[in-house]
Structure formats: structure tokens, C-alpha cells
Chain A
Amino acid sequence: MTYLSFTFQTLVVLLSAPLLVGMIQTLKARFQNRQGASIFLPYVSMLSLLRKEMTITKNSSWVFCAVPFVVLGTALFLALAVPALFFGVTPNSLDNIFLFGAVAALGSIFLVFGGMDTGSTFGNMGSSREMTLAALVEPALYVSLATFALAAGTWGLGGIVGHFASLPWIVAVPPVLVTLTGFLFVLLAENARYPVDNPATHLELTMVHEAMILEYSGTYLAMLEYASAVKLTALLTLFLSILIPFGIIAVPVSALSLAVAVLTFLAKLALGAFLIAFIESVVVKMRFYRMQEYMTLAFFVSLLGLVILLVVLHH
């Protein structure tokens, strides 16, 4: 039963990932008073990419071709570690917070390799920037994850969300609100969203994430786009599961509670999409060379969150 729920949860996260991207795009369009594309557009885009031919640059090695697989693999790993519907179903070792951070880093650096292995200045530039961001976002990521874990007194993501879900909201969540803010900073930086990166840009000089995947096409591009959607979904799910820990259930489940869990999950995703679309509509992209301010801010907010929690714990 546990394994069944685990597989089911992973599948739900994996299948809803393009939906989240679609919702964000549509909501952003609505914020611009446009009608926007269907929220199911990313599914069609990715499927049509799978049917397309691949063209590959001649200046690349096997690393270039390995990148989509590793990046997608790490995204899958993140997806199976986050408790979206149930808590306590992920095998104990797989949802450890430090493993979560390391796997996220593994995905980021392989994207960087992909950008470097093209011999193109755009890819190189994107890689250099992404690597800087990935290196500097690390402290904030680990500190905020450790804070959640400390608040819950357990080190697996499943246990953490279980803790928040089983206590009344007003008791459990307020001590980590500051950390959640810090985690939001991390989430935006890790997923190349505003104000760190512009996911919809066509100007190579302003790109970070897009610049690294300029040379990918067909199946590989679909894998990379899907991987970034899954990563966004995984991190956003974690964020929302702690902020609004409702509807997350423990196994065994009945059909009704399962339906409720899935629906709440989708509702939360919609809320998350709205949140991101809202942020992207009201803030501007920062200059890259001011990123240190953003990263320092993210780090200090996370550290402040940790200090607040420690004060709560020890008094």
C-alpha cells in the first residue's frame, strides 16, 4: 500500500508539472490583460517536441547528450521526495533534506555542463551565471530546509510535512513563516524565475536558464523543459505543503480522501501558480551583477528564520 501510494503520488506530481507551467503562463497573460494560451499548452508543446527531429551542435561531446538525462533524473528524484498527497510514504533515506539539496545541485550543474559543451558564447554565459547563482543559493537552501526540519524535529521531508499537517496551523506554521519567505527566494532563484531570470526572454544577454538550453532540440529539449517544470513543481509543492498543510493525508487511504487529497493538491498548485504569476507581474528582473544583494538577502532571511526558530525552541 505504501509503495502504491508512493508511486501514485510521484505520478501525480510528474503529470501535473506541465499544468503548473501552463497555469503560470496563462495567469501571467491575464495580468497583462491578455487572454493567454490554454493551460494545457505545455503538454502539447512537449509532446510535439518529442515527435521532432534532433539537431545537435558539432562542438559537443557525450556530456552534452548526457545532460538531459541527468537533469531529468534529478528532477524525478526531487519529485519522488516531496510529499504532495501523503506523508510518510517515501522511503526513509530518499527524502532527507540534505540529499534533496544535493540532488537539486546535481541537476543545476549538469545544466551548466550542457551550456558549456556547445562552444557558444550564449551557452557559456548562461552557464557562468547559473553556476554563480547555484553556488550562492546553496547556503539559503540548506539553512531554510534545516529550519523546517528543526521545527518538525525530523529530517525527512515526509516527516516535516507530516508535522505541519498534524498540528493546528496557528501553532505549527507561524514560527517558520520567515523561513518560508527565505525559501521562496531560493525557489525563485533555483527555478530561474523573476527577479533572478526572465523565463520568457528572447534576448540572449538577459538569459540564464534559457541560454544554457539554446542548443538543445527535439526530445532533449522536451526533457529539459519537462525537468525544469518538474523541479519547479517539486519545490513549489514543498513550499505550499508547509505553508498550507491541509489535505495531506497519511496512508491507508479511502477513495474519498484520495480524491480530496488530489483536488487540494491541484488547488494548491493553482494558488502557487497565481503567487508566481503575481510576483512576476509586479517585480522587475534584477541586473545580474546585483544578484549578490538578492542572494545575501535570501541568506539572511533564512538565517533569521533559523534564529527565530531556535529562540522558540530554547525558550
Chain B
Amino acid sequence: MSWPLVLSLGAVAYSLKALGALVLGGRRVPAALQRCLLLIPAALLAALITKDVFTTGRELTVDARLAGLVTAALLSWRRAPFAVTVLFGVGATALLRAVA
């Protein structure tokens, strides 16, 4: 990994925060654009979840990671505290690997 990559991601990430918080803050954004921007986390978090659980490089795989996802989904759905969801999700995958 290169320093320019690390530092440029830092610069871009901070600029995006500043764009909303310091530059545009208090101004009106067109309603349709705001609705679209607010959907970015839903689309990207879902994409990252399935990528992290079901792919290895460019291959589709189903393995012990699925146990962590199912556990976390059930706990989140039952409104478990954040830390409980994370620790049990991670633990479910580790446990399945240990016994399998």
C-alpha cells in the first residue's frame, strides 16, 4: 500500500465530511437529491455485507461467515444492543470454524 493512497483517501474523506458539515450546512439541497443521498448507506452497506460474506475474490462461496451474518441479522432484528450483535456474530463464525 502506498502513502499517496493513504493520504489521498484521508483528504477526500475529510473533504466530504466538511462539504456537508461546513460548506453546505444550513443550505437547502433539492429534495430528490437528498432522498437519493440518504439511500447510499442502505445500498452500499447491503452490498458490502453480501460481498464480505458470500465472495472470496471473484468467487462466490458459502462458508462459516454465513453463521455470523444470520446471528447478527436475528439479533439486530430483535433489537439487541450493538455490542451484543457484533460479539455474538463474530463468535458464531469462530465457533463454527472451531467445531467444523
* Physical interaction between A and B: no
- Write the residues of chain B forming the contact surface with A, with a CB cutoff of 8 angstroms: none
- Write the residues of chain A forming the contact surface with B, with a CB cutoff of 8 angstroms: none
